Amino acid sequence: MAIIRISSIILAVSLLLTGCSGFYTSIPKDTVMVKKIIQETPADEVEYNGVLSEETVKTLSISAVNKYYSHNLSLDDIEFEGFSMDQAQIKELLAKNTKDLYGEQGFLVEFKTQLSKVPSGIYIVAVMNKYDATDIYNVVMNAKDGDVVAISKVVISEKTKVEKKPTVQRLSELETIGDQFIAGMDDYKPADLVLDDTSYRYGGSTAELYYKSKENDAIVLNIVIDVDTQKVVGFYKDIMTVLQYIVSKYAFSIMGY
C-alpha cells in the first residue's frame, strides 16, 4: 500500500547512501533536523554556510503543502521526518545506479546541468498532519535557495502497474491536465517541453507523465495525476526526476513490489 511508501523511500535512500548520517524518524515538529547546525548560530539566521536553516525549511515545507494542496495548515498542525543529501551523496547515488548506462563517471556529464542547480544538495522532508494519519506529504527542496524540486501527497493505492499502451483519449486528457499545471510553474512552460509518451506510467489511482526539454531532449519534469479527481497530486523536476526513479525502484524492491 502506498501509505507506507514514504517510510520505505526514506529508508531506501538511507540504505543506498553509504554512511548517510542524515536519516531521522519520528521527529517532533519543534526539533526538525535537516543539517547539523552549530548551536551558537543565532536563531533568526536564515542561512547557515550556504544552506537553509531548520526554521526556514519547516516554513517553506508547510507553505508548499498549503500552496499545492489548498490547505491552511500551520506549524502547530504538523510533524516532520526528513534528512539532507549533500551534492557528494547525490553523486554517489547517481554513480551507483547509472553505471550501466553512462559508465563510471558518465553521470557527471549527463546530469551536469541538474547537479549545478543543487550545489548545496537537497532536503527531503515528510510533512504529516497530526490530526489525520493519512494526510502525509513529501517535500524536496534545494538546500541553497529553498526552491521546491519535488512534492507529492502519499496516496493509498494498490501496487503500481505499468500500462505500456495507454489509450489515446486517456493520454490526451492527462496531457491537458499536465499542461495546465505546467503553465502555472515559474521555471517551465508547456511550449518548452514535450511529453515523452513512452514513459507513461499508470496504476492504482495515479498516472505519471514525463516531459522532455525541447532544448536537450532530457527528461526534466515528472507530473503525478490522480486519475479519479483529475488533479495533479505531485511533481518532480530537474535532478529529482532521476533520483525519484532510482529511489522508488529501490523502495519498491524492498517492499516486494
Per residue in 210-245, pLDDT (tens digit) is 999 998 888 899 999 988 888 899 999 999 988 887
pLDDT of residue 156: 58
Q: Over 46-113, what HEC string results?
A: CEECCEECHHHHHHHHHHHHHHHHCCCCCHHHEEEEEEEECHHHHHHHHHHHHHHHHCCCHHHHHCHH
pLDDT of residue 82: 81
Is residue 203 pLDDT above 90, yes or no? Answer: no
As a whole number of angstroms, the distance between CA 186 and CA 116 comes to 19
How much is the mean pLDDT over the chain?
75
Domains of the chain: total: 1
Write the pLDDT tens digit of every residue in 10-65: 444 544 443 343 433 333 333 333 433 333 333 343 444 457 888 888 899 999 99
Query: Which amino acid, one-letter code, is at 13?
Result: V
Is residue 173 pLDDT above 80, yes or no? Answer: yes
Write the pLDDT tens digit of every residue in 132-157: 988 999 999 999 999 999 999 886 55
Q: pLDDT-based confidence at 256, cuts 50/70/90? A: very low
Entry pTM? 0.76
111-120, 187-196, 201-210, range with the lowest pLDDT: 201-210
Write the pLDDT tens digit of every residue in 82-130: 888 899 999 988 888 888 778 878 888 888 889 999 999 999 898 999 9
Report, as an integer, the average pLDDT of 160-172: 58
Written as one string, the DSSP assignment of 143-172 is TTT--EEEEEE----------SS--HHHHH
- Under 8 Å between Cβ of 70 and 63: no
Q: pLDDT-based confidence at 247, cuts 50/70/90? A: low
Domain that residue 156 falls in: 2-255
